[in-house]
Amino acid sequence: MDRIPILKMGPYLLVTIQIDLYDRVALNLENDLITMVSKTEAKGVLIDISAVSIVDSFMGRILGNIASMSRIMDAETVVVGMQPAVAITLVELGLTLQGVHTALNVEKGMELLQDMIGLHSSSTEDDEEGPDDRND
């Protein structure tokens, strides 16, 4: 397998990385995501790395690139599910993942995106916030 599927969910793109990625696959993902953001005008990118056990500076740079390229096209990037051992290691490695937001899991990541983008899904969630002052 050398491509990771990208799911479109409303204004968001969702990617679940299920294994430690070979470089080629990671680079393909970077390209595919950036192309998809531009094509679909997505407002947010959610990358689930809960199954990733190692993030080195190569992988970190790819996550950073995805975030900065997406930002240029007006989309925010949230990385979700980073394993605690990976997070601790990244700090010591010195990698800050600039421009990359993080959240505990996909659900929290979605919430973060919605807050950042100021969109509210028109579904049944009516128990979270009172006034609905969405900006158009």
Partner 1 sequence: MIVMTKDTMQIVREQDVVPFRNRVREYAVKIGMSLVNQTKLITAASELVRNMLKYASGGKVILEIISKNAQTGVRLTFVDEGPGISDIKQAMQDGFSTGRSLGLGLPGAKRLVNEFDIQSTPGTGTTVTITHWKHGR
Q: How far is the CB of 71 from partner 1 (least distance, A)?
A: 18
End-to-end CA distance of the chain: 41
Contact pick of 38, 71, 89, 108 for partner 1 (by CB under 8 A): 89
**Could you tell me the two tokens for 97?**
């993942």
SS3 of residue 80 by DSSP: strand
Q: Which is nearer to partner 1, 40 or 65 (CB)?
A: 65
Alpha-carbon gap, residue 55 to 27, rounded angstroms: 14
The dihedrals phi and psi of 107, each to the nearest 5 degrees, come to -60, -50
The dihedrals phi and psi of 3, each to the nearest 5 degrees, come to -135, 140
Footprint (CB under 8 A) of partner 1, residues 1-60: 20, 22-24, 53-58, 60
Contact pick of 94, 124, 131, 135 for partner 1 (by CB under 8 A): 94
Contact pick of 7, 9, 88, 116 for partner 1 (by CB under 8 A): 88
- Which residues contribute to the site for partner 1 (CB under 8 A)? 20, 22-24, 53-58, 60-61, 83-86, 88-89, 92-95
